[in-house]
Amino acid sequence: MTVYVPPLKDLRFVLRHLIGLDRLAALPGYEHIETDFIDAILDEAGKFLTDVWFPLNRSGDIEGSHLRDGVVVTPEGFKDAFQRMARAGWLGIPFPEQYGGGNMPVTIVTAVGEMINATNPSLAMAPGLTQGAVDALLEHGSEELKETFVRRLITGEWTGTMCLTEAQAGSDVGALTTKATQSDDGTWRIKGTKIFISFGDHDLTDNIIHLVLARTPDSPPGTKGISLFVVPKYAVNDDGSLGEFNAVQTVSLEHKMGIKASPTAVLSFGDQGEGSIGYLVGEERQGMRYMFTMMNNARLAVGLSGVAVGEISYQNALAYSQERVQGRPLGAPRDEVTPIIGHANVRRMLMTMKAQVEAMRALVLENAFALDMAKAHPDEDTRHEYQLYADLLTPVSKAWATDLGIEVASMAIQVYGGLGYIEESGMPQFYRDARIGAIYEGTNGIQALDLIGRKLPAGGGAAIMGFIGNMKGIDAELAAGGERFSSMRKLLGDSVAALEQATGWLAMNGMQDPNQAAAGATPYLNMLGTVAGGFFLSKSALAASRLLEEGASDKEFLEAKIATARFYAEQLLPLGTALLGPITAGKENLFAIEPDQM
């Protein structure tokens, strides 16, 4: 039987001592962000999710969602759990008060979101996608669309989806063929088929609001010819009541490796008849720009799922390692046995898992904080600076954290040994659920290309050079910390220097031949994530040291923070530094042989 304890102590540490709740409270509109208030939110969310959502995680995986006579049925208990969350107001916390939301900053929503994703990643897809739909409508929709759809999405009366992908297009969204034709009454008729639509159909709510990418007549090919439409499953009458079925058919559900309780649908829009009624969002042919409002938020959320699965995998591996007695310590008497946590190789796995989870958590929450600053800071230049910073971190949060989430889930299986390969242990589900993260919302290879092609050069390289400067900036603090920080200081300095060299190489060689930079994109993203993790853990160690000097009571937790940062610096940072070679090797080895030689 698996276990989960909300990591409240570490979440609070990051929020208070790395992010700084006082910095959030200083932003206009967030004056209510006080320590006691946030503590209460985290406590209540953790309790609700552990009591209501987590017990359904295993049963949902076994039962799965099914299509029966054209109707999608979710696992037993899912509808009640979702509706209880909606009634408690948790679904609305990210959104403006004027639409019935809780007006919480992205940073706090992300902290709560980790627990949502850890306790039930399948069910977490429903509110996650709905949040993306609301964000897009609030940013780009007309007042009429907002009044018709947004409030009911925020309350959880309805849910939302993203409908991008088509079978022939895959990740090349510009190749989509779904068509939209305007009717005499100003609405549009949508015809086409979309695949891989998470929670595309379900029984949790009475209506589902699809945000659909489609082509209008005479639009140019590629992404420039794409528009965005709202297409409800059931038509909505002027008084807000539900009307007729809107010809959105569920063709099939995918049989997936993981998150089996999350129904992933193939949807047919209006293929029988005149088409499904849709409403244009914003301007025609601006669909891709609007959809990226959903995509960027979704990418951070997917990265957060890597943190979540890493945390729950680590917790269970740690618990098992303390219970499972096997073997004797090296050099001990023959009749002495030990829990497996006493063996060095198991300790190495556990410390690696712990350090990686804490590094991921810090990165993703920093990313969220940058988004809050970009949205709410009163100074325009500061908002622009933080937007560039958030844009830089987003592909790293998405790709690096999901890769590590998979790695940590795999290590948890290894700690369990043979039992970890047995479904009843619960460990295979964590790994299976984690594996989609590297594919969702643009594969991790696409994230790496986005990082080097768009995010590094944005603003003349201001974000990456500013981040490198900040990482260099703690050298004096580490030096002042004395011997216990000496290895951390040296190894972080080496890794930042390697990152700076790699960044320069990509900038110079990428201008001459983009394929040279593309060849190093994935190792560069991994280097940036690894070095950033070392930086944030070093900052954590410095904060813990200051608290110890001030006489803080939680000495064991704070000492563990310093030890974890030192482990990361000595054992994991060198792996990031070593990526300088692969990054700067260029494309020659990748294209040295022809496809028919491979």
Q: Is residue 237 part of a domain?
A: yes
Q: Is residue 48 part of a domain?
A: no
Q: Is residue 1 part of a domain?
A: no
Q: Is residue 203 part of a domain?
A: yes
Return the pLDDT at 305: 97
Round to whole Å and give the CA distance between 492 and 413: 30
Domain extent for 234: 54-88+120-285
Of 256, 285, 314, the position where a domain reaches its end is 285
Return the pLDDT at 170: 66
Type of residue at 52: V
pLDDT in tens, 476-490: 999 999 999 999 999
pLDDT in tens, 364-400: 999 999 999 999 999 999 999 999 999 999 999 999 9
Round to whole Å and give the CA distance between 397 and 323: 34
Catalytic residue among 441, 483, 500, 549: 441
Return the pLDDT at 298: 86
Contact 166, 195 (CB under 8 A): yes
Tell me: pLDDT of 221 over 70.
yes
Angle between helix 486-512 and 555-567 (nearest 10): 50
556 is a catalytic site residue: no
The model's confidence at residue 173, banded by pLDDT at 50, 70 and 90, is confident
Contact 161, 210 (CB under 8 A): yes
Of 259, 285, 311, the position where a domain reaches its end is 285
Residues in Cβ contact with 18 at an 8 Å cutoff, skipping those fewer than 6 apart: 362, 365, 366, 536, 539, 540, 543
Range in 23-37, 293-307, 407-421, 562-576 with the lowest mean pLDDT: 293-307
Pinpoint the alpha helices (H) of 324-379.
344-376
Q: Is residue 223 part of a domain?
A: yes
Q: Is residue 13 part of a domain?
A: no
Bridging pattern class, strands 71-73 and 66-68:
antiparallel
Q: Is 156 left (phi over 0), alpha (psi -120 to 50) or beta?
A: left
Q: Is residue 399 part of a domain?
A: no
Number of domains in the chain: 2
Contact 310, 352 (CB under 8 A): no
Query: What's 70's domain CATH number?
Result: 2.40.110.20
Q: Is residue 346 part of a domain?
A: no
Of 227, 259, 285, the position where a domain reaches its end is 285
Return the pLDDT at 209: 98
Average pLDDT over all residues of the chain? 95
